[in-house]
Amino acid sequence: MTADGKPRAAQRITWTHAAVAAWAIMFAVVAVRVVVQPNSHDCWKPFYEAAGRNWLHGVDLYQNTFATCRYSPLINALFAPLALAPSTVGALLWRGILAGAFLGGMFWLLRVCAAPTWTRTHWALAFLIVFPLAASNINAGQANPLMTGLLLAAAAAVGRQRWNLAAALTVGACLLKIYPIAFALILIVAYPRRFLPRFLIALAVGLALPFLLQDPLWVARQYSNWWTSLYIDDRTQWSFDFCYRDLWMLIRFYELPVSRDGYRAIQLGVAAVMAAVCLTGRWRAQWSCTETANTALGLAACWMTVCGPTTEGGGYILLTPTLAWALLESWRRPWPVGFRALLLASAAALVVGAMVSAPDNAGLLMAYGMHPFGGLLLTAALFGDAVRRILVPPTPAAEASPAPAARAA
């Protein structure tokens, strides 16, 4: 019984119903909006549908750096089937793929990581916590939920030691947006014999497939144009309305004494420390495959958003599964007060960031850096938790409890 006299089962069902209702209502509202306002807040028609049609007709995929789909040729080719459908139908199907990939990846990872003591309430709250940023991404038709779902599923596959599937999913995320290579590199460091060969084979297949789907000479030109478009797309000095929402934006906005070369050193240094933490945990603390992979994903998600090369506001969906897990575990188990404070502050910063992104002057409001501040706070909490687990290995009783915070990245 609960404090108000209601059965616990009824309370769990209420939270479960709330989560299901929130996601169902969101998708229904988005579907109606796509039909009624097909050109409002939409990435499908101007970017992804256009990319699919360009692929079908042999038109240059990378005509304009800012107004084009900057993903790899294979991803552009995969848009082609949806581009054959009427625009509204394609937009709805695309958003269904986004929601399915994100929810499916998160569900599988929770199945791998969550202990039997997790109740339906914990599951429902996890899906409610990630809801706000996921909903905004799905509404706009951004590819971030798909990339996040692929990475979540890849971490779950490593936890199950399904290395071929893990490599394929990781390569899929890397071909969608290159910076998930951060997660792949940490796995390569931790599992060089089991993951590296499979990753290289999957990557070779992914890069070769487009040559079977279009004229090979044309595809070769697209690869050259793709790399050129990525190389020249430098937004480091753009106005705060359009620049990336990362640590470099904070450095510029608050006029911190850090040069561009110094920032690159910070990026590389943080990545190296993350890899070292995971490698140490793997060998010194004898972390399992699940703990190593999901700790790597949690830390890599922080790097991809806070220190990554192309972080937009919607990209912070990468952090929401980690944050959801950490918040739930910090109150379910006796976590240090400092960690709880960091997690709550991170959640507050990300919520404020989501709120200020709505007005017309969102670009200037977001320049205050609520998204990267939230990411920095979460990074500190995850680092602290990972180091604590290395220095003080869990007792046998603790090992039977759910995975640590970073494991739900």
- Tens digits of residue pLDDT in 84-105: 999 999 999 999 999 999 999 9
Rounded (5°) CA angle 362-365-370: 110
Percent of residues, the chain, with pLDDT higher than 70:
88
The pLDDT of residue 396 is 52
Distances (CA, A) of 260 to 237, 248, 265, 374: 10, 8, 9, 22
Half-sphere exposure of 393 (CA within 13 A, CB side): 11
Residue 249 lies in a domain: yes
How far is the first Cα of the chain from the last one, in angstroms, to the nearest whole number?
33
The pLDDT of residue 7 is 53
Where in the sequence is the domain holding 86, given as residue range(s)? Answer: 8-408
The pLDDT of residue 407 is 44
The pLDDT of residue 400 is 44
Cut 0.85: pTM above it:
yes
Dist CA 54 CA 62 (whole Å): 10
Residue 2 lies in a domain: no
Residue 254 lies in a domain: yes
Other CB atoms within a 10 A radius of the CB of residue 202 amount to 22
The pLDDT of residue 351 is 83
Burial class (CB in 10 A: 0-12, 13-18, 19+), 190: buried
* Tally of domains in the chain: 1
Encode pLDDT of 6-18 as tens digits.
555 444 458 888 9
Residue 3 lies in a domain: no
Confidence class of residue 38 from pLDDT cuts 50, 70 and 90? confident
Half-sphere exposure of 47 (CA within 13 A, CB side): 17
Burial class (CB in 10 A: 0-12, 13-18, 19+), 368: middle
Dist CA 319 CA 310 (whole Å): 15
Residue 396 lies in a domain: yes
Residue 345 lies in a domain: yes
Residue 1 lies in a domain: no
Residue 276 lies in a domain: yes
